[in-house]
Structure 1
Amino acid sequence: MGDQVVHHRLIDGCKASYGEPRHKFSPSVNSLLDFRNIKQLYSHQAEATDYARAGRNVVVATPTASGKTLTYNLPVIEQCLRDPDSHALYLFPLKALAQDQLKTFNEMTALLPETVRPEAAVYDGDTTPYKRKKIRDNPPAVILTNPEMLHLSMLPYHERWSPFLAGLTHIVVDEVHTYRGVMGSHMAMVFRRLLRICRFYGADPSFVFSSATVGNPAELCRSLTGLDIHAITESGAASGKRNFIFFNPVVSPYSAAIQLLKAGLARGLRTIVYTQSRKMTELISMWVNEKAGEYKDRISAYRAGFLPEERREIEQKMSSGELLAVISTSALELGIDIGGLDLCILVGYPGSVMATLQRGGRVGRSQRESAVILIAQEDALDQYFMRHPEDFFSRPPENAVLNPYNPVIMQRHLVCAACELTLRDDDYLLKDDQIKSRVHQLEKEGVLLRNKRGDEIYSTRKRPHREVSLRGAGSTLHIEDTATSALIGTIDEVRAYSEAHEGAVYIHRGSTYCIKELDLGSRKVRAAKERVGYYTRARKNKSTEILEIYSQKKVFGIVMRFGRLKVTEQVTGYEKRAVKGGKLLGIVSLDMPPVVFETQGLWMEISSEIKRRSEDEFIHFMGGIHAVEHAAIGILPLLVLTDRNDLGGISTPMHEQVDGPAVFIYDGIPGGAGLTMQAFEQAEELLKRTLQIILDCECELGCPTCVHSPKCGSGNRPIDKAAAIFVLENMVNGKPPEKIEELSIMLVPFGEEVKKETNNSEPKTFGVLDIETRRSAQDVGGWNKAERMGVSIAVLYDSEQDKFFEYEENQIPEMIKHLQKLELIIGFNIERFDYKVLSGIHAFNYKSLPTLDLLIKVHERLGYRLKLDNIAQATVNAAKSADGLQALKWWKEGRLDLITEYCKQDVAVTRDVYLFGKQNGYVLFTNKDKKKVRLPVEW
């Protein structure tokens, strides 16, 4: 197979570099080190423990197997021995890591006397209710958990955890590089909420982060916490020689992986095979079961979806040497201890230099010589590195990016925070101006509510935490098996439109399901288990609107801008493609509602001159810019730590706001994740790399290596590779524009709030209208037949005359003339009820009247309706004198005088509520907790 090796590089090992901590550890801690036969700390371990022991925030970003565990265990154990009331919280992205680290912690402390030995416990979804209560009531020195448990079980019930939180001195965050993109945006708010609660209990913990080698560890951790973090990136650990082999197979990558695995097993090499998907893990494992012969019982698959006890067993067998090989998804990329390995086979480029080094770092742990084989797939990045291997080795690890102020994600966490602890103006969270601005915006929208005094802010929700998924931006839908009603998976709402629509094929644990119903109302997707020989791919129409421009610059021969976009995506149908070969079997139309979301994105404004030249050369311009969009998205993971599935794109030969052709690339999640913001900063490299990847590809018309996208909504049509090269060469080699033309969109520096113009014009005359009916809803057959109810009395207050006018049913035409003279008609439920009743008396277009319905405004703010009596009593301390049923009784008794007084009182109350709201910018109401809270209004 040697002719398929395109590059081989031997990376020399290095000797260990040691260091001494500034202050000696206590004899107890030194005895723990002696027991583990550790005579000296590596230089990075010594430096990191200095910072952690001093209560300062630190991140250690060194390669796999460099001993990062000691950097937090030693300071934590020392602190717990010094002060038995001290506590530490360890956070791991995977439950398996927590179990692994518990074992390590207990092994380290096993020699200490039982009376002083710090206890540790795992608190996660596998912990029994009895054990959870025990941990809460008598918290151990160290709790090992994951982000979901912190978000769902600890923060909402912090009062139960007060002894633990009050003594919290260290927060350990392992594998922090995984907290990027969407999850990073969530964790930025989770950490801020945690620090807020800690301060409430008088604690000021410091952070110890550990990370794989990443380009910007300090910046990443600063974005996550808002705190200053010291970064340690030089490893003092020894390492063995490592062979890196780039392998471009002539057969399929999976067949090549199987051949190489077989060769490794025959030589007794302990091997790990990484695949890009669960499906490939299962397929290679199936080969193992069928053809591995004597090695059959010494190989296992490993991925998410296995039961915890299954994963523990595999980890234990790998660590003991009972298993010779494991086939895994990224689940084993993180630092779970599975012993020393010799060979790492990567089926496809993992998407980043960082992930490649992280996975490759699992081999050669005992300083033995090892090998990492990267098997290329058809993907653009795989083939790019096969042609430019030197670029891989000269390239620094990518920067991990996140948007700590994603407005969609921030809103959900602020609602959670207000629920955990009432927000005040001097709140820890509100020291951040961007969070403070968002809180004020949520107040205006009625999502958060201020109390009557105006010094506290409450959540409108009782327990909002379960509606927030830390690994997605949208709300979560549950996928159910129609036969058993069992839950088979979850999916984000945004992804559900394109992956869980009716007719879509969904794969779970090797089984195929056909989606029968996407029920957004009940948040459920119903799927039936069926064996089919095809997969589905959604077809979409997309459009984008530019809302704000954050930054703009000249890039070679074009203008590129970065800003806030509104993206509209509509799934119009789906393709059925054969599993073998991917042949198109048919297209099915769908009638789906559009998905509209705001995000961040960059766009390339291609000059009309480039378009004209293309047309003069008879080049397919639209096919060219569409291909540029695909190639740019495919190459972006070279610049930003992301996956192409996290990005979206739109290319158009004529965009109305740009007034010309444009290619848009945007973050594929509501609110944005900071991906295109970083890409915009590297705009020149993005264009050069995009051109290079297309030029280097040996295909004739375009393929997945260069300009085809596996997730294109239009099935990669139209696509023109030659046109893409022509357009890009004109962009890169073109003359820079003389000036940047201004668009009719406001240029707003990133992070600053747009000052919106408000209409302060007030009506000179207004009227307040209320009517009482002759018949009840029951009498006429329901509220939907209000036009049959008749009018007993109508009362209209005229602000110009400061007078109440009364109209009986036969005087309604006269009242309408009066209404037409007023600049504004005000009522409470006037549009849905009063006007409908009046329409049965006199045929007039009541909707033509300038109307302000206070109930509609309240509903728009809160999402639910309130009674006038609630608002009136809280706002102007005035109650209704009666109710509608009493008024109907009076009508039957002929007491029109009493009905009129009651109706007049309603009108006066509505008027006073309106005037209070207009003057103060809010009204009051009593919420479900019996607290009087402010509801901001603009009327």
Structure 2
Amino acid sequence: MIDKSPLTRYVEELCASPKFSPQIVCHRLLPGSDARTAPLRQPLSEAIVDGLRRQGIERLYAHQVEAMNAFRAGHDLIVATPTASGKSLIYNLPVVQTCLAEPSAHALYLFPLKALAQDQARTLAQLSAAIIGDTTVHGTPRFVSIYDGDTTTAERARMRKQPPPVLVTNPDMLHLSLLPYHDSWSSFFKGLRIIVIDEVHVYRGLFGAHLAWVLRRLKRIAAHYGASPRFIMLSATIGNPGQLAEKLIGRQPAVIDRCGAPAEEKDMLFINPWDSAAHTASQLLETALKRGLRTIVYTKSRKMTELITVWTKPRLGALAARLTSYRAGFLPEDRRAIERQLADGTLLGVISTSALELGIDIGDLDLCILVGYPGSVMATWQRSGRVGRRGHRSAVIMIGGEDALDQYFMLHPDDFFNRPPEHAALDPLNSRITRQHLHCAAAEIPLEQDEPLLRCCHQIRRAVDELTEAGTLLRDGDGHRWHASRKRPQRQFDLRGGGVKLSIIHRHTGEIIGEIDAGRALHDAHPGAIYLHQTKTLLVVDLNLSGQEVLVEESKPTYYTRPTVTKETEILSRLASKSVCGIRANWGTLRVTEQVSGFRKIQQFTGKTIATMMLDLPPQTIETEGLWLDLPPACKQLLEDKQMHFMGAIHAVEHALIAMFPLLILCDRNDIGGISCPYHEQTGQSSIFIYDGYAGGAGLAAQAYELIEALLEQTERCVVDCPCETGCPSCVHSPRCGSGNRPIDKEAARFLLQAIKQDRFQLETDAVGDTAVYLPRPVVRQRATDAAGGRGRAALPAHFCVFDLETKRAATEVGGWHNADRMGMSVGVVYDSKLDGFATYLEDEVNDLIDHLASASVIVGFNILAFDYRVLAGISGRQLYDRPSLDLLKLIQEQLGYRLSLNRLAEQTLGRPKSADGLQALRWYKQGRIDEIVTYCREDVALTRDLLLFALDNGYLLFTNKAGSTVRLPLACDAALVALLSRT
């Protein structure tokens, strides 16, 4: 009988399990492969050959030989092969050989993480010791030294005075500490021969654009000292390694992307769980650890990392101490300790975010559990490569979550295995980043009018002119050189784009327990947010942006929180435009304003919203690049003729486009944002925007614009193939939607996408100008289906109240509208459906008014959430946000993207304008004319009630647009009511 390994038995029993077997949608045994070796064209020196033998290396793999042959021929290199394929030898051997042959030669190693730098420095030190023994090189006993934030002042001084043959650092230190002080490193830069950049696939988007400029500055300084170093770059397998490397270094490298390293068999299983992905992962992890399998679990978020740890540890007994979580936000010393314990076997399992994706040596692992699709084919194979690295069979289990990409591959597993790795997007000419680094370059060495950097493209020269006009760059007397206006501009920005870091502080102990980016803090660490950190559930007590602190305390809530976000977009310029299936696709620059306006408390396990809270946080505005789709009026007309929800359709399409975006372009869905507008004032029609979530852009939307046909086709397939009926996180729902995925209409989105795919619209361009003229093609219109139950007035509960109030003070008297809680109430009026009449309350009866409203099944108003409720709370200290509330103005703003006044709607819809306005009511209050305020307020309540009833009867309201035409505003008040009441 064959003695099967614990891993083999684990996989077999999983596949035979009555519980898990039906959930396995794919099981493949990936075959192993034998090593392919080859001889070098020019043999290595005897010392190097002997040193390799001492490390047990007799022959080199074919890709290692191909790379070294190309480097010896004078080429820069980009090597894109799988994890554990021996890439470190590709750069270490040429470096050792160069430094031994040339006494003054130096090499610079760049790694994105400190832990990776330390790991690879140890590898090089062992190799160099095996080759050269204790012999000093350059007069220094250390062949390799690390220069990072942990290096002491004395060690830094020693390295500057007598630089080692190999200096290991990271892009941040190169930017902040080496390039600005290049004169102190003159002997190092003069002898710089090789620059090694590992994990190149990390340098995409914003971070990649920064590194591309740091490398341009590095080459410029090396040239200043007479050096012309070559590059050796290493990457995980990506779709465009040569293109990415060329954008990084500014010249074309030789590409090595065929691997000759051996590979062992690997089981790969896809599980589409009945339970949540996180609970399923916890169960699989528990079983694996109890069988002694060394396991790594990758999650998509910090919160999920902590939740799985919390759920699993109590069931492990004595093994609990051998499981830990690992993620960004931990203090550096905690992360280093976890890495050591993984490598030496002290820990049996770890639950990590992508922080452990890179090539840090964490020992010999058996099993990798992916909680959700990692977001890219590249990342999936990269993480899978962390197991089975010592020549034995391993297994990878990918558990599908509710995310659209997860479910796409659960439904189409063959597509995953057949799909090539994604392309990495990089835009080194991001205008903001270009200006920042030109300022730094001028501070390091004045810019010359005819130097290669300024002659390479017109965008850089234009940026120089803009900086000169702004006074950031100062031209010298003869006009041929530019000097920086600041001595050390490098300190003004962060290469990783994280911005300001806030300390997370325990309220009672004062201990700093972690950190968070300021931008993330607005979403995840606002006052009232539930924040998870190292298995602890924390309630955010205060967010102090100016003091850079988040104050928290431990809590045990039965809910979690999700922010509510409002967005606005302005088109700054259109750089490209094309017709795609009868709609217009555009690419250009945008100004996007985003504000966290509140948050929802969502009950654990049920997912129901139990409360909605308002926040007063500052808006965040960025100028970025984006693409947008202009939908002709025929699109809207077609859906409305079929009684479909147009805003629900385009909102759903926006979500699905973002969800499918990473299938084509290497990014995280959080790197991009979206806004859907049923009418955008600049385009004059319906538009869907997808934009880079970084100031200046990151090249993502630009690449998506080029691939827009493929993106639309993939999006249509995702929506059509998802088996849900009304929309779910696997197709058109987004976990980060600022409006809580309302309104969403999956069926309308499917119909719209299929109509676009079938080219049912014809787009023509006015020959005179740039105006798009849209002509709908004739379509066969089907008879509208009958309304289902719960539509129209049937959606109203038996007891509802319509409410409005007038204030005692104007906004100018209390310091602005944000101080509505100080404005007081003069009169409040309620229409009560149960009484079919009105009730009036004066300022001393505010508690009776609140009691009356709280008795209703639903409260209806116009701007009650942002205004009236805040006024009442300021007077009484009581909140109504936890009551089901239908705010017509909020629905309208979500539909249109901008506000309409009550008078503008009532005049066209009901033929009854308002009898007065708020300023008149304030004058009446000061004159003591309360009866007139009551009459006016009652009329406003009646207008609001009648608008609601009209919308329920007809599905729309009327208003006059800027062109002077009376138009319909589709408004699904019945759907909003059903959604509100279903959560109570």
TM bucket, shorter chain = 0.7 to 0.9
Question: What does 1:842-861 align with in structure 2 at a 5 Å threshold?
Answer: none
Aligned to 1:34: 53
What amino acid is the match of 1:654?
Answer: Y
User: How far off its partner does 1:309 sit?
Assistant: 4.9
Choose which of 311, 315, 331 in structure 1 pairs with 2:355: 331
Task: Rate the CA distance shift 1:491–1:746 in 2: closer, same or farther, 3 A.
Answer: farther
**2:286 counterpart of 1:262:** yes
Distance in 2 between residues matched to 1:131 and 1:484, nearest whole Å: 35
Counterpart contact for 1:193–1:429, Cα < 8 Å: no
SS in 2 for 1:19: coil
Q: CA RMSD in A?
A: 2.5
What amino acid is the match of 1:74?
Answer: L
Comparing 476-485 and 683-692, the one that deviates more: 476-485
Distance in 1 between residues matched to 2:350 and 2:615, nearest whole Å: 42
**2:135 counterpart of 1:115:** yes
CA distances 1:724-776 after superposition (whole Å, capped 9, x unpaired): 112111111124625345897799xxxxxxxxxxxxxxxxxxxxxxxxxxxxx
User: How far off its partner does 1:436 sit?
Assistant: 2.1
Aligned to 2:109: 90
User: How far off its partner does 1:476 sit?
Assistant: 5.7
Distance in 2 between residues matched to 1:639 and 1:458, nearest whole Å: 42
Choose which of 460, 465, 470 in structure 2 pairs with 1:445: 470
Aligned to 2:78: 59
User: How far off its partner does 1:57 sit?
Assistant: 0.8
SS in 2 for 1:44: helix
Distance in 2 between residues matched to 1:310 and 1:542, nearest whole Å: 38
Counterpart contact for 1:409–1:473, Cα < 8 Å: no
SS in 1 for 2:108: strand
**2:381 counterpart of 1:357:** yes
Aligned to 2:416: 392
Aligned to 2:929: none
Choose which of 567, 575, 583 in structure 2 pairs with 1:558: 583
Aligned to 2:44: 25
Question: What does 1:268-287 align with in structure 2 at a 5 Å threshold?
Answer: 268-287=292-311
User: How far off its partner does 1:565 sit?
Assistant: 1.8
Task: Rate the CA distance shift 1:63–1:734 in 2: closer, same or farther, 3 A.
Answer: same
Comparing 641-650 and 338-347, the one that deviates more: 338-347
Counterpart contact for 1:563–1:602, Cα < 8 Å: yes
Distance in 2 between residues matched to 1:363 and 1:387, nearest whole Å: 26
Choose which of 230, 238, 249 in structure 2 pairs with 1:206: 230
Choose which of 672, 677, 697 in structure 2 pairs with 1:672: 697
Question: What does 1:297-312 align with in structure 2 at a 5 Å threshold?
Answer: 297-312=321-336
CA distances 1:875-929 after superposition (whole Å, capped 9, x unpaired): xxxxxxxxxxxxxxxxxxxxxxxxxxxxxxxxxxxxxxxxxxxxxxxxxxxxxxx
Counterpart contact for 1:555–1:736, Cα < 8 Å: no
**2:155 counterpart of 1:131:** yes
Aligned length: 745
Task: Rate the CA distance shift 1:581–1:497 in 2: closer, same or farther, 3 A.
Answer: same
* TM-score using structure 1 length: 0.76
SS in 2 for 1:296: helix
SS in 2 for 1:711: coil
Aligned to 2:870: none
CA distances 1:660-707 after superposition (whole Å, capped 9, x unpaired): 111111111111111111112221221122122122222222121111
User: How far off its partner does 1:232 sit?
Assistant: 0.5
CA distances 1:829-864 after superposition (whole Å, capped 9, x unpaired): xxxxxxxxxxxxxxxxxxxxxxxxxxxxxxxxxxxx
**2:656 counterpart of 1:637:** no
SS in 1 for 2:167: strand
Comparing 353-362 and 407-416, the one that deviates more: 407-416
Aligned to 2:25: 6
Aligned to 1:315: 339
CA distances 1:554-601 after superposition (whole Å, capped 9, x unpaired): 222322122222223333333333455443233333444543322111
Distance in 1 between residues matched to 2:652 and 2:220, nearest whole Å: 48
User: How far off its partner does 1:505 sit?
Assistant: 4.8
Comparing 73-82 and 452-461, the one that deviates more: 452-461
Distance in 2 between residues matched to 1:308 and 1:439, nearest whole Å: 39
SS in 1 for 2:762: coil
Counterpart contact for 1:439–1:448, Cα < 8 Å: yes
Counterpart contact for 1:565–1:600, Cα < 8 Å: yes
Aligned to 1:49: 68
Aligned to 1:900: none
Comparing 550-559 and 573-582, the one that deviates more: 573-582
Distance in 1 between residues matched to 2:108 and 2:452, nearest whole Å: 20
Distance in 2 between residues matched to 1:418 and 1:485, nearest whole Å: 43
Task: Rate the CA distance shift 1:729–1:151 in 2: closer, same or farther, 3 A.
Answer: same
Distance in 2 between residues matched to 1:508 and 1:152, nearest whole Å: 31
What amino acid is the match of 1:304?
Answer: A
User: How far off its partner does 1:366 sit?
Assistant: 2.9
User: How far off its partner does 1:339 sit?
Assistant: 2.8
Task: Rate the CA distance shift 1:79–1:100 in 2: closer, same or farther, 3 A.
Answer: same
CA distances 1:433-472 after superposition (whole Å, capped 9, x unpaired): 2222211111112222222332322222232222211111
Counterpart contact for 1:606–1:731, Cα < 8 Å: no
Aligned to 2:910: none
Aligned to 2:978: none
What amino acid is the match of 2:542?
Answer: K
Distance in 1 between residues matched to 2:614 and 2:211, nearest whole Å: 39
Distance in 2 between residues matched to 1:493 and 1:274, nearest whole Å: 25
**2:716 counterpart of 1:688:** no
Choose which of 181, 192, 198 in structure 2 pairs with 1:157: 181
Aligned to 1:879: none
**2:540 counterpart of 1:514:** yes
Counterpart contact for 2:527–2:543, Cα < 8 Å: yes
What amino acid is the match of 1:527?
Answer: L
**2:656 counterpart of 1:628:** no
**2:435 counterpart of 1:415:** no
Choose which of 582, 605, 610 in structure 1 pairs with 2:635: 610
User: How far off its partner does 1:90 sit?
Assistant: 0.7
Comparing 132-141 and 493-502, the one that deviates more: 493-502
Task: Rate the CA distance shift 1:355–1:20 in 2: closer, same or farther, 3 A.
Answer: same
Distance in 1 between residues matched to 2:449 and 2:478, nearest whole Å: 12
Counterpart contact for 2:330–2:514, Cα < 8 Å: no
Distance in 1 between residues matched to 2:506 and 2:125, nearest whole Å: 42
Distance in 1 between residues matched to 2:38 and 2:502, nearest whole Å: 51
Task: Rate the CA distance shift 1:257–1:652 in 2: closer, same or farther, 3 A.
Answer: same
Structure 1: unaligned runs, 5 residues or longer: 748-939
Counterpart contact for 1:18–1:43, Cα < 8 Å: yes
Choose which of 379, 393, 401 in structure 2 pairs with 1:369: 393
Distance in 2 between residues matched to 1:400 and 1:10, nearest whole Å: 28
Choose which of 110, 124, 135 in structure 2 pairs with 1:105: 124
**2:194 counterpart of 1:167:** no
Distance in 2 between residues matched to 1:28 and 1:746, nearest whole Å: 71
Task: Rate the CA distance shift 1:162–1:486 in 2: closer, same or farther, 3 A.
Answer: farther
SS in 2 for 1:716: coil
What amino acid is the match of 1:539?
Answer: T
Aligned to 1:75: 94
Task: Rate the CA distance shift 1:738–1:526 in 2: closer, same or farther, 3 A.
Answer: closer
Aligned to 2:976: none
Distance in 2 between residues matched to 1:322 and 1:210, nearest whole Å: 30
What amino acid is the match of 2:92?
Answer: N
Aligned to 2:171: 147
CA distances 1:293-336 after superposition (whole Å, capped 9, x unpaired): 34334433333344555444443443344443332221221111
* TM-score using structure 2 length: 0.72
Counterpart contact for 1:242–1:372, Cα < 8 Å: yes
Distance in 2 between residues matched to 1:243 and 1:444, nearest whole Å: 61
User: How far off its partner does 1:428 sit?
Assistant: 4.3
**2:659 counterpart of 1:662:** no
Question: What does 1:486-565 align with in structure 2 at a 5 Å threshold?
Answer: 494-495=519-520, 497-499=522-524, 501-509=526-534, 510=536, 512-514=538-540, 516-519=542-545, 522=546, 524-531=548-555, 533=557, 534-565=559-590
Task: Rate the CA distance shift 1:514–1:300 in 2: closer, same or farther, 3 A.
Answer: closer
CA distances 1:526-560 after superposition (whole Å, capped 9, x unpaired): 43435262444333332222222222222223221
SS in 1 for 2:351: strand
Aligned to 2:802: none
